[in-house]
Structure 1
Amino acid sequence: MTKFFADIPKIQFEGPDGTNEFAFKHYNPDEIVMGKRMEDHLRFGIAYWHSFAWPGGDPFGGQTFDRPWFGDTMDLARLKADVAFEMFDILGAPYFCFHDADVRPEGATFAESTDNLNAIVDYFAQKMDAGGPKLLWGTANLFSHRRFMSGAATNPDPDVFAYSAATIKTCLDATMKLGGENYVLWGGREGYETLLNTNMGRERQQAGAMLQMVVDYKHKIGFKGAILIEPKPQEPTKHQYDYDVATVYGFLKDFGLEGEVQMNIEQGHAILAGHSFEHELAVARELGIFGSIDMNRNDYQSGWDTDQFPNNIPEAALAYYEVLRAGGFTTGGTNFDAKLRRQSLDPEDLILAHVGGMDVCAAGLKAAAAMVEDGALEEARNTRYAKWDDSQNAEMLKSDLSSIEARVRRDNINPDPRSGRQERLENLVNRYL
C-alpha cells in the first residue's frame, strides 16, 4: 500500500439519506434496474490520464498538483500504477482506461518507449489478475508530443504517419493483452488551422487509410473488442475532421467502414460542437454506431473543453435514456474523462469527485429507466408521428412529386399545424427526476 490515499475508506452505498460524504447516495452496484445490476448498466471506467497524469494546468497557468509519482522513470510509473489501482479499489470501479503516454515514460526512441509500455502492461496484468478492474479501452496519445503538432494520420510528414501507425499497433497489442473490451481512436490534432498550408483531400485519404489499417490489424490479431472513434470539434485546431457523430459517419461511409467502427461520445465535445449530449447519442443510435461514452461536462460560460465531473442529474437522465433506447452498453461503458479543478489539491478531492460523478450517473440512470418503463414519453412521440403509419402516407415516401401533387389536389389537403407540446413533455421528464 502507498501513503497517498491513507485513511480514505472504501466507498460503500449508504443511501440518499446519509450524511457521510465518503459513501454513495445513489450508486448501488447490486441494485436491479430493468432486470440488470446497476454496475452492469453503467460499467464505470476511470480515466488514467486526468486522474493520475494531469498536472493541474490550464491555458493560462502551469502545474498546480504535486504528485509523488510525477517524473519520467519506470519506478515512478510503477508507483503511479500502485496508487491508481488503490483508487480503483476504493471506488469499486469495474474498469479503467489509458493512453500509452499516461502510464509509461517517454523513451529516447520508439523502441524504448514501447519497451517501457510493455513493462507497465505486464505490471498492470499482475494487478488485474490479483482482483483489479478490467480494461474498458486503451488508446494511443498522438497529440501531446511536439511531433504531432500537425496531426498524426493527417500529418504532411510521412515519417510522422509511420510513427503514429506503429504506436497504434503497440497500443492495440497492449489493449488486447490486457483483455481490453474496446480500442479508441481520438484524433486530437487531426484537423487544420489554416487552408493556406493544407491539402484537405490528401489528409482525408491519409486518415481513411490509417483507419482501414487499424481495422485490418484488429482482425489479423483476433481482437474481439470494438474500434471506437471519439468525435471532437474545434480545440485545439480550427477544423477537425471528426467534428461530431454525423461528420464521422459520413467519413466512415466514404471509406466503407461504417460496419466496423462505433462511436465513443463525450458530453463536453458534444457541447463544443453546438449539440446536446443526448443529440449525439441519438444520432449514433439511429445510425447504428453507438458504442461508449466519456462522461463529463463543460463550463457553459467558458467556451472551451473544461472536462469537469458531471453534476447535473437531468442531463445525465436524458443521456442514459438514449443509451437505454440503444439497447444499453455492450462492450462500451461510462468513462470519467473528467479532471479536478486546478485548486483541488487533496487526495480526498480525487476520490470525492468520482463519488459524486458516479452518484449523478446512477440517479440519471434510474430516472431514465423509469421513463423507459413508463413509456409515456415514447407514447407521446409515437402519437405525434401516428399519421405516417397510414399505408397511403407511408407509400408517399416511395412516390414522386407529380403523384403527390395530384393527391393533394384530389383530396384537397390543407394541413392545420398541431402543437409539438414541448413544455408538456419537459414537465413529464421532470416527474422522473
Structure 2
Amino acid sequence: MTSFFEGIEPVRFDPDSTSELAYRHYDPDEIVLGKRMEDHLRFAVAYWHSFAWEGGDPFGGRSFERPWWGDTMEHAKIKADAAFEMFAILGQPFFCFHDQDVRPEGATFAESKARLDEIVEYFGEKMEQTGTRLLWGTANLFTNRRFMSGAATNPDPDVFAWSAATVKACMDATHTLGGQNYVLWGGREGYETLLNTDLSRERHQAGRFLQMVVDYKHRIGFQGQILVEPKPQEPSKHQYDYDVNTVYSFLKEFGLEGEVKMNIEQGHAILAGHSFEHELAMAAAFGILGSIDMNRNDYQSGWDTDQFPNNVPEVALAYYEVLRAGGFTTGGTNFDSKVRRQSLDPVDLIAGHVGAMDVCARGLKAAAAMLQDGGLEAARDERYAGWDTPVARDMLKNGTLDSIANRVISEGIDPEPRSGRQERLENWVNRFV
C-alpha cells in the first residue's frame, strides 16, 4: 500500500456527523423500492480522472503531484495500490479503466499488451483481496497521435488494425477481470473538415468494427454487455456518435440494435443540446439503456468540464428515468468526474466522491418517491388516454388518409387544445426534490 491517503479513515454513513468525510444520505444498506441502495446505484470510480489525469487543461499543464507519475510498471503498481486504497476508503463497489490509464505505453504493441497483462494480474489479486469489482473496461483510442484521424474511421488501414488489436486486448483484460460491461467511446471518430472526408466509407468502417467487437464477445464467451458512449463534436467538428438517437440509427443500420446498449454521460448530453433525462428516456424508449457516467458541466464554460454532480433536482430526474426503465442490470453509476486543477490534496479526491455519492443518494430517493407516488405517470396516462380507445387504436393500425378524412367530416370532429400542465407538473416534482 502507499501512504498517499494516510490518515484518511473509511467513510461511513453518519447523518449527524460534523465531518466533511461522512455520508449523510448514502446508506448502502437502506432499502429503496425493495432493493439495497448500493445495488441500485452501483457506484464506480473512473480510474482515468482520479489517477491518470494530471490536472491540466487547454491552457496549462500538470498541476498535481502524485507518487505514481512515471512510465515504469513500478509506477503503475504504486498507482494501483493508491486506487484500491481509495476504493476501500469510499466503499465503492466498482471501478472502470482504459488500458492507457493503468499501464505505461510500450515501445511496441506487443510490449504495451504485455504490460497490460501484467497489471491485469495485479488487479486480479487486489480485487480478490478487497471485493472491488470491474464495472467496465475500455480502450483509449484517442490520446496517441496515431489516432488524430480516428481509430475505426481512420483513412489508414494500419491504424484500424492497431485499434482492433487494442480493443481485443482490452476486451480480454475485461473478461479476465470479470467486467460486467465493455464500453466503446469514439473520441475521434469524426472529422475536422469535409474537404478530406469520405462519410460513407468512414461509417461503414465504424459499423464493421463494432460488428467485429460483438462477434469477438461471443467467441470468447464474454457475458457482459457491449456499450457505446455517445458524444458530440468535442474534440472533432463532427462525430458519428453524436447522441442516443444518432447511435441507435447507426446500430439499426448495421444490425446491432439487439447486441449493443448505451453508456450515457450527463456532460455529453448537455454538449448535444439535450438534458440528461432526455438521453436516458430516449435510450429507454429504444430498449438500449445500459449504464451512466455521472458528472456535470460548467454551463458558462461551454465544454466538457467533467465536474462532480451537485444538482439534486437534475440527478433525481435522471434516476427517475433509470428506475422507470427498470433500473440497472449490468450497468451502474460511474463517476466520470474529476477534481478541479486547484484541488491538490488527497482529501479533495475523497471529498469529491463523497459529496457526489450523497447527491446521487438524495436523487435516487427522490426519484423512488416520485415513482411510488405515481403523479407523473398518472398525468402522462391521462394526457394520452384518447389513444387507448378502440376507435383511436383502429385509426393508427388500419386507418388511411381517406378513411380518416371521411370520419372527420361525417362526425364533425373539431378538437380543442388541452393544457400540457407543465407548470403544475414542475411544481409536483419540486415537492420531492
**Correspondence for 1:222:** 221
The one-letter code sitting in structure 2 at the alignment partner of 1:306 is: T
SS at match of 1:413: coil
Contact between 1:47 and 1:338, CA under 8 Å: does it hold in 2?
yes
Contact between 2:230 and 2:268, CA under 8 Å: does it hold in 1?
yes
Please report how far the alpha carbon of residue 87 of structure 1 lies from its aligned counterpart in structure 2 after TM superposition. 0.1
Which whole-Å CA distance do the structure 1 matches of 2:351 and 2:424 have between them?
36
Which whole-Å CA distance do the structure 2 matches of 1:106 and 1:53 have between them?
13
Please report how far the alpha carbon of residue 291 of structure 1 lies from its aligned counterpart in structure 2 after TM superposition. 0.1
Which whole-Å CA distance do the structure 1 matches of 2:425 and 2:196 have between them?
49
Which whole-Å CA distance do the structure 1 matches of 2:131 and 2:165 have between them?
29
Q: What do the CA deviations read for 1:378-424 (whole angstroms, capped 9, x no partner)?
A: 00111111111111011111211111101110111111111100010
The one-letter code sitting in structure 1 at the alignment partner of 2:111 is: E
Contact between 1:51 and 1:339, CA under 8 Å: does it hold in 2?
yes
Q: What do the CA deviations read for 1:123-169 (whole angstroms, capped 9, x no partner)?
A: 00000111241000000000000000000000000000000000000
Which whole-Å CA distance do the structure 1 matches of 2:298 and 2:416 have between them?
41
Which whole-Å CA distance do the structure 1 matches of 2:18 and 2:268 have between them?
34
Q: What do the CA deviations read for 1:286-313 (whole angstroms, capped 9, x no partner)?
A: 0000100000000011110000000000
SS at match of 2:29: coil
Is 2:164 the counterpart of 1:141? no
Contact between 1:232 and 1:243, CA under 8 Å: does it hold in 2?
yes
Is 2:62 the counterpart of 1:63? yes
Please report how far the alpha carbon of residue 60 of structure 1 lies from its aligned counterpart in structure 2 after TM superposition. 1.0
Unaligned runs of 5+ in 2: none
Is 2:312 the counterpart of 1:291? no
Which whole-Å CA distance do the structure 2 matches of 1:316 and 1:348 have between them?
24
Contact between 1:153 and 1:190, CA under 8 Å: does it hold in 2?
yes
Q: What do the CA deviations read for 1:23-53 (whole angstroms, capped 9, x no partner)?
A: 0010000000000000000000000000000
Which whole-Å CA distance do the structure 2 matches of 1:283 and 1:396 have between them?
26
Which whole-Å CA distance do the structure 2 matches of 1:130 and 1:233 have between them?
40
Contact between 1:88 and 1:132, CA under 8 Å: does it hold in 2?
no
**Correspondence for 1:45:** 44
Contact between 1:291 and 1:332, CA under 8 Å: does it hold in 2?
yes
Which whole-Å CA distance do the structure 2 matches of 1:10 and 1:133 have between them?
15
Contact between 1:85 and 1:132, CA under 8 Å: does it hold in 2?
no
The one-letter code sitting in structure 2 at the alignment partner of 1:152 is: A
The one-letter code sitting in structure 1 at the alignment partner of 2:404 is: I
Which whole-Å CA distance do the structure 1 matches of 2:344 and 2:230 have between them?
30
Residues 169-180 of structure 1 aligned to structure 2 (within 5 Å): 169-180=168-179
SS at match of 2:130: coil
**Correspondence for 2:238:** 239
Residues 217-366 of structure 1 aligned to structure 2 (within 5 Å): 217-366=216-365
Please report how far the alpha carbon of residue 376 of structure 1 lies from its aligned counterpart in structure 2 after TM superposition. 1.0
Contact between 1:89 and 1:132, CA under 8 Å: does it hold in 2?
no
**Correspondence for 2:404:** 404
Contact between 2:44 and 2:92, CA under 8 Å: does it hold in 1?
yes
The one-letter code sitting in structure 1 at the alignment partner of 2:25 is: H
**Correspondence for 2:100:** 101
Which whole-Å CA distance do the structure 1 matches of 2:432 and 2:3 have between them?
42
Which whole-Å CA distance do the structure 1 matches of 2:299 and 2:228 have between them?
24
TM-score by length of 1: 0.99
Residues 178-193 of structure 1 aligned to structure 2 (within 5 Å): 178-193=177-192
Contact between 2:51 and 2:79, CA under 8 Å: does it hold in 1?
yes
Contact between 2:308 and 2:337, CA under 8 Å: does it hold in 1?
yes
Please report how far the alpha carbon of residue 360 of structure 1 lies from its aligned counterpart in structure 2 after TM superposition. 0.4
SS at match of 1:23: coil
SS at match of 1:13: coil
**Correspondence for 2:413:** 413
Please report how far the alpha carbon of residue 18 of structure 1 lies from its aligned counterpart in structure 2 after TM superposition. 3.0
**Correspondence for 1:431:** 431
Superposition misfits of 4+ residues, deviation over 4 angstroms:
none
**Correspondence for 1:206:** 205
Identity %: 75
The one-letter code sitting in structure 1 at the alignment partner of 2:148 is: M
Which whole-Å CA distance do the structure 2 matches of 1:126 and 1:148 have between them?
33
Contact between 1:267 and 1:297, CA under 8 Å: does it hold in 2?
yes
**Correspondence for 1:3:** 3
The one-letter code sitting in structure 2 at the alignment partner of 1:403 is: S
Which whole-Å CA distance do the structure 2 matches of 1:359 and 1:394 have between them?
45
What is the RMSD of the two structures over their aligned residues, measured on CA atoms? 0.6
**Correspondence for 2:82:** 83
**Correspondence for 2:392:** 393
Contact between 1:152 and 1:161, CA under 8 Å: does it hold in 2?
yes
